[in-house]
Structures are given as structure tokens and as C-alpha cells.
Amino acid sequence: MKTFSIAKSRRLRSTPYTSRIEEQGVTAYTTYNHMLLPAAFGSLEDSYHHLKESVQVWDVAGERQVEINGKDSAKLVQLMTCRDLSKSKDGRCYYCPIIDDKGGIINDPVVLRLSSDRWWLSIADSDVLLFAKGLAIGNNFSVNIFEPDVNIIAVQGPKSFKLMEKIFGEKITQLKFFGFDYYDFKGTKHLIARSGWSKQGGYEIYVEHTKSGLDLYDTLFEKGKDLDVKPGCPNLIERIESALLSYGNDIDINDNPLECGFDKFVNVDSDINFLGKEKLIKIKSEGVSKKLMGVKLDLKKINITESIDIMDENSNPIGELRSGCYSPYFDQVIGIAMLNKPNWNANQAIKIKINDQAFDGKVCDLPFI
């Protein structure tokens, strides 16, 4: 595949850590929320093994925050998501599909309840701020909506707990999954959550004070030397094996949450008010006609830049492959596919054509591991 360099500009925003990661050997960027997001530090496969064994520090500032505060903030956040937040608590994160009036997915952020009238939506790659502003204006809500200057550093991998303990003390190891609290670093408080876009364990530091954050970034590398800490980024292989979904790749506005396996985040039975509720009630009672599934292909290499049609054994189209990679764990290509009803049985045979060559494969359940 031919590769191209990225043309930087003000519009394609750098992060406070960009100069650091460029010194540390970033080799590819993607864009996320109009910001640079590192996509590789050399070999994806080497980074994958390292992430599963040790600890990495990621510049994920592209996971921007949409802050919604004010008297009607809880009402607006609930209007945007089908997940029931009526019993939500301060200091907790909630993975929430944001949907439109048709039930189409606008985004799949991690929602942080800072207080009952102050929320952060830690968004995937789409312009949630504009959607939120439109709803607030149309409904005459009393809210403030803006992007605060927050730049997340993720610390991921099995040794992340040891590394964070060295810097923040034992109490950081007691933080529960999807909980957050404030921890001191040289006199500055940092919001730290036990979360991250890998299944290897770890934390996300929501840096609000850039100077202290840069010092913390450097300290993570100093204190992590004996733990073999390395710079990294969300890893395509690890995230597909773990079935962490990527908005814009695996899911988009033409999919509803029930098609994407978000059933437990679709709360149509409580009396909450959200956009698309009627629609989701209807879809739930009728059942979905397409669904995200895993696929395994008899292939050792793939590079997906657009969806690829999937066929059944008789060459009838049955869906599309949306993400894929070579998995060292399965020693074949695995991928995330949207498959039409009734092709949802694990082990069902499928076919795929790449560069006019046909390859066999089979359907499987998500997550792979």
C-alpha cells in the first residue's frame, strides 16, 4: 500500500504531547475530532505484544471532552442517550450511545458525571458539541456547552497499576473500573479514571493543567524505566481482538444501538426521556435486520480503507466487513462485520473478495477473546 504524509495545520490540531511523541518515534497519525492521534510507533504487532505484557503511555488528547453544565444539563445529557442515567453517581463513568431521533448512533462517548449539573462527554470521532448545542437551543435549555482544554494521557497494560502506584501511591490501585477521582501530582490535582481503549487494564488521566501534565508525562517514562514503559497508541489488533468498537469504522449514524450489541445500554422500559425512544421501542419489538458480528478469514494480511462485501457460500451478499487485521493470537485475519439477518450463527461459512481473489472464512461471536 502506498503511504502519504499528513499535512499539518491549525485546523488539524496538535496536542500538548505532539512534540514529545515525535521525539519518541511516532510513525503514523490518524485524525480524531480534528486532532492528531498517533496510530503507530513502528510495528503494530510489536506494540500489540508489548501492550499485552507491559505498560504504555498514550497521547489520546483527541478523545475530546464536551462539557455540559448548568441547571438543565442532566436533562440534556439524558435526552441524548438511550442509557438510563437517572441513578448515575458523581465520580463514575458511563459508556453511552448518543442517538438521533431515528435511533442512529451519533457517537459512543464515555460520559463522566462530575456532579449532578456538570458532565463531560468524552467523545469518539464526530461533532457532538454541535449536536448538543442544537438540541439545547431548540429546547431552550439553560446550559453551557463547550470544549474544555482537557488532554487525556492513557496509561495502559498489565504493568500500568505498578507504574501509577509509584507516582500516586497505593490508593490509585483501589479505584474501581469506570470510577474516577482526583489525585495529587506535585501539588496539582488530576482527574484520573480507571478506563481506556484496551482490555489490558489501566488508567486515563484527564489533564487540565498542561504544565503539570507534561511534567507527569515525563515522570511516567522516568518512573517506568524498570517496567519497560514505551510510548504507544490505541492498537488496531488489540482493540479488534477485544471488540472495542470504533465509531466511523465499525458503527455509524446508519446503525442503531441494538444492531451494535449495545442492548444493555438501551433502557426503553424506564420513564426517562431521550431522542429516538419511540423508534427504539419499535425496533426492539420488531427485532433488528442486521447485527455486528465477528468474522475469521483464511488470510494472513488485510488493510481496510473501506467496507468490503461479504458473501455466503452461494455468493449472495450478506453484509460487509468494516474493520480487520491479522491477529497473532488466531494466526489469521479477524474482523468486525455488519451481517444481515439470519447470518448470525457462529461457524457459518462466508466468502470475501479482495483484489478479485476469493477467500473463505466463518462467522463468530464478539468478542473474539
Which residues would be at the binding site for ligand THG (CB under 6 A)?
63, 95, 108-110, 122-124, 152, 178, 195-197, 204, 244-245
Angle 73-80/128-138 helices, nearest 10 degrees? 120
Q: How far is the CB of 334 from ligand THG (least distance, A)?
A: 17
The distance of Cα 358 from the centroid of its chain, to the nearest Å, equals 32
Q: How far is the CB of 105 from ligand THG (least distance, A)?
A: 11
Q: How far apart are alpha carbons 258 and 279 in whole angstroms?
A: 11
- Residue type, position 281, single letter: I
Residue from 14, 12, 20 nearest 231 by CA: 20
Q: How far apart are alpha carbons 345 and 117 in whole angstroms?
A: 45
Q: How far apart are alpha carbons 369 and 367 in whole angstroms?
A: 6
Q: How far is the CB of 335 from ligand THG (least distance, A)?
A: 17
Q: How far apart are alpha carbons 248 and 245 in whole angstroms?
A: 9
Residue with Cβ nearer ligand THG (34 or 341): 34
Q: How far is the CB of 246 from ligand THG (least distance, A)?
A: 8
Helix%, strand%, coil% for the chain, nearest 5: 25, 35, 45
Q: How far is the CB of 107 from ligand THG (least distance, A)?
A: 8
Q: How far apart are alpha carbons 281 and 269 in whole angstroms?
A: 9
Residue with Cβ nearer ligand THG (96 or 352): 96
| Runs of H (alpha helix) within 275-330 | 277-286
Residue with Cβ nearer ligand THG (78 or 122): 122
Q: How far apart are alpha carbons 352 and 338 in whole angstroms?
A: 13
| DSSP calls for 210-230 | HHHHHHHHHHHHHHTGGGT-E
Q: How far is the CB of 15 from ligand THG (least distance, A)?
A: 14
Q: How far is the CB of 71 from ligand THG (least distance, A)?
A: 26
Residue with Cβ nearer ligand THG (256 or 348): 256
Residue with Cβ nearer ligand THG (85 or 110): 110
Residue with Cβ nearer ligand THG (261 or 361): 261
| Runs of H (alpha helix) within the chain | 18-23, 44-53, 73-80, 128-138, 160-168, 210-223, 236-241, 277-286
Q: How far is the CB of 118 from ligand THG (least distance, A)?
A: 16
Residue with Cβ nearer ligand THG (232 or 361): 232
Q: How far apart are alpha carbons 83 and 268 in whole angstroms?
A: 9
Residue with Cβ nearer ligand THG (178 or 359): 178
> Do 368 and 294 contact (CB within 8 A), yes or no?
yes
